[in-house]
Amino acid sequence: PCSRCCPTRCSNDCSSLRSFVLDPFDSSSCLVVLLRQPLPNRRAESWCQSGMAAAREAALRLPPLPTVRDLLRMYRIRAMRQLSQNFLMDPKLTRRLVKAAGKIRDHHVIEVGPGPGCLTRPLLELGARQVVVIEKDPRFLPSLQLLAEAADNRLKIIMGDVFNYSMDDLIPQELGVPWEGPPPPVHVVGNLPFSVSTPLLVRWLRMASRRQGPFLHGRVPFTLTFQKEVAERIVAPVMHIQRCRLSVMCQAYCSVQHQLTLSGGSFFPKPDVDVGVVRLVPLVEPVIQQPFDLVEKVCNCLFNGRQKYLSNGLKNLFPSSHVDLAKDLVKLVEIDPQTRVVQLTVEEVGRICQVYEHFCLQDAKLYEYNFRLGRW
């Protein structure tokens, strides 16, 4: 009997297999087997496991569908350059991008900006338990509905602007884990239009710092596409030519990895730049403890001129009537005022934020000052 390899005891011996799996996500499903000639237990167990794996892969495989390129032709959809829409057509590259997000099988995935479903297909084929897509452009609804019908209820479509969704209600409560533990079995992915990728990233960093939205359920990883230069800025270390405010803000709240670079020629229509894929995982403890909005303001002021000295950047935090506070701040953080801002570590920016917060608590109007407007 096959009690060693099947949780349910079958009436037949494990021999050559003819099998099926009732549920591709149910590891306890029993294999139905027919007896031809007895096999050793180890070999039988191996055959059962192989048969179950093959049956599960077959259950995940989508039925034949038109290619993304064919769907665009069928529905007469053209990418809108004003919306920075670019589609990744090559199935091999879409699978590479999806795999850059980490383990997908049996995980819950939120895809932002799916378009005609370029990434949605490999997400489903690689075994995502559930894929929720948020799409703003109604022209893509027919192609997404076609995928949903083929995916056997594993694809949910939400039409709307992602900036209007906190996304906390798009993740099942039972998937949530403590913040201090490993990331939950949830991913956020997206091949975003370049025009919204950075504002959306900053929005999610703010949510992560407050443990809101998808991060209410734990340290949810998010994998996104950016212009190559923006991807390089996100991961840029100290003294790197691309070091900027985004570098400090991302690295203050997340572990960041530049997973791969895709040639612009891989997309349709072809963008003028190459594309970088970045994976971010929120840190258990942020490097900078101050409120996100204060950190964002300090970074904006410091990196207003990346090659400027620290002393110049700090002046942007204070009105001319309080310029002496900038000098006091330099002394308190114990950093050379002639240090260029690209030389600052995240920890050093954290010290600046800490002292600036102290000044703001003493005079609440300081926080309201906007150096770009030159007024409170």
Which whole-number Å values give the CA distances from 241 to 119, 185, 235, 238, in the listed order? Answer: 32, 36, 11, 9
Residue 98 and residue 178 in contact, taking contact as beta carbons nearer than 8 Å: no
Contact 108, 80 (CB under 8 A): no
Point out the annotated binding site for S-adenosyl-L-methionine: 86, 88, 113, 135, 161, 191
Got the DSSP string for 262-285?
E-GGGEESPPSS-EEEEEEEE-SS
Task: Tell the burial category of 362 from Cβ atoms under 10 Å away from its Cβ (0-12, 13-18, 19+).
Answer: exposed
Q: Is 238 left (phi over 0), alpha (psi -120 to 50) or beta?
A: beta
Neighbours of 24 (CB within 10 A): 21
Rounded CA-CA distance 289/252 in Å is 9
Output the known binding site.
86, 88, 113, 135, 161, 191
Confirm if 301 and 314 have CB atoms less than 8 A apart: yes
Tokens 């701040």 belong to which residue?
329
Residue 358, both tokens: 């102290």
Count how many residues are written for the chain: 376
